[in-house]
Amino acid sequence: MDENVVIYLVSDSSIDTAEHVAAIAASRFGANISQIKKFPYVGDKNQIDEIAIDASNNKNSLIIHTMVVDELKKHLLKKAQQYNLRIVDVMGPIMDAIEGTTGIPPSDLFFPKRKLDEDYFKKMDAIEFAVKHDDGKDANGILLADVVILGVSRTSKTPLCMYLAHKYIKAANFPLVPEVDPPRELFEIDHNRIFGLMINIDNLVEIRKERLKSLGLDSKAVYAAKDRIIKELNYAKEVMQRLDCTVIDVTNKAVEETASIILNKINKGGL
């Protein structure tokens, strides 16, 4: 009988409270807790839907939440019921006790604005970071980033970083070119924070040809030549192996799919 549990920590603000409670409880079960996934600053129903679907794919999953925005809290409960998921409300009993003592019902008026401000500035900060550290503009950003994205040209590094920024992740990206040595900063950070993007050779040839056409350039240029692309991908593979980073095949993958792989790895590893 598989008794391993995957715990989902969900909050519409900081995850600290849920994480602390879960850590105390999990310490009593040791090896039975196979994974803890963290979802702080959950601000919309779509995020809740994604979490519920992910949790439903695990045989033994448990959601521990500190949601206080009523609309989001109710939606999380609804999804938990829909997928028959176990769910624990950490803040609910405390808030009910305070309401019973004071006779005053809780109000979102005292929470959403502060939360909205926190979410807004956190997202804007991540977006500004992605722009500032796009395409290897500043190697120092590698040391400050939550994640670093590597890959040859036209593997969707920039759109991926912008998508992650909207999930509050500070992402820097760096192009891999055979003629340019990778920055030393890549070898100074945790390899779990680095994600390399690979792609099918023929697919990349077509993508680059279309790019050249859109710029009004000759599609037969070296940039889209198969021999050149093979050289670039082999070099990229070599660098990624040296870094021992996570490699993702982005062939025919939407940016959202690639981002989901990265977010799951982040949540799993607690990065």
155 is in an annotated binding site: yes
Assigned domain for 109 exists: no
The total number of structural domains that make up the chain = 2
CB 134 within 8 A of CB 92: no
Phi, psi angle pair for 92, to nearest 5°: -50, -55
CB 170 within 8 A of CB 145: yes
Q: Which of 102, 124, 141 is the last residue of a domain?
A: 102
What's the predicted TM-score (pTM) here?
0.60
List the 33-39 sheet strands across, edge first: 33-39, 5-10, 61-65, 86-89
Q: What is the pLDDT along the chain (271 residues), one digit of tens a residue?
A: 356 788 999 988 777 788 888 878 777 765 567 778 888 878 788 889 999 999 998 888 999 999 988 889 999 999 999 999 999 999 889 888 988 999 888 765 555 555 556 777 788 889 999 999 999 988 888 999 999 999 999 999 999 999 999 899 999 999 999 999 999 999 999 999 999 999 999 999 999 999 898 888 998 899 999 999 999 999 999 999 999 999 999 999 989 999 999 998 887 765 5
257 and 190 within one domain: yes
157 is in an annotated binding site: yes
156 is in an annotated binding site: yes
151 is in an annotated binding site: yes
Q: Which of 70, 102, 134 is the last residue of a domain?
A: 102
87 and 124 within one domain: no
Phi, psi angle pair for 146, to nearest 5°: -70, -40
Query: What radius of gyration, in Å, describes the C-alpha atoms of the chain?
Result: 22
Both tokens assigned to 60: 């033994």
CATH number of residue 215's parent domain? 3.40.50
158 is in an annotated binding site: yes
153 is in an annotated binding site: yes
Assigned domain for 176 exists: yes
Residue 23 lies in domain: 5-102
